[in-house]
Structure 1
């Protein structure tokens, strides 16, 4: 099977879905919109351009890994200011940048310690021993 663009149009193969949203100004040039219940996503494209989702630290296109990082990203002091962090992600990179772990934030304890689940690996199959 071959997939080809019609004339000079770009080819797009996507598992995404189109959302018709009511975008409203938030602050400092940021727009926000409510999504329908049950819609979950980790990427957003507007007019075929990938958008940067809200994150800490702020996106830095020339900074690797992960386009900026911070040791205090989910510290109790930072989490104390969050009303409900559930649904956020933690991306943890190995010291030598050869792989990492991904966790989903489930909430926080009364002492503001972030709770999370997962630990799925990248570049390191589950049967490899890590020391």
Structure 2
């Protein structure tokens, strides 16, 4: 929820009347989430994607049925300097989200977002095929 897309998603979900819970690793007061009013209308769980227990506890405590996973360390320079922590956040973190959702009986939907770095790396934007069915 503290990233640009996450904060926009939180706002839209709250505007539509959803109960929103966000896993937040670092409180970033200047982020869109904390600058807007939506942070006062949602549940914040302090924790990291690398902590499966925190994810499982949040899913149960807040009776979550839909998970949007947008969290990642997406800055290429940081990834190059810190490949292990990037792996842990992005790969292990996604695994933990999916595993916690698999174990949690109330989960109906999991939506995983990614970036352009996850597929067809090195291709110019105009050469990346887009499937409009999705």
**TM-score normalised by L of structure 1:** 0.31
More strand by share: 1
More helix by share: 2
Higher RCO, 1 or 2 (CA under 8 Å, sep at least 6)?
A: 2
**TM-score normalised by L of structure 2:** 0.31
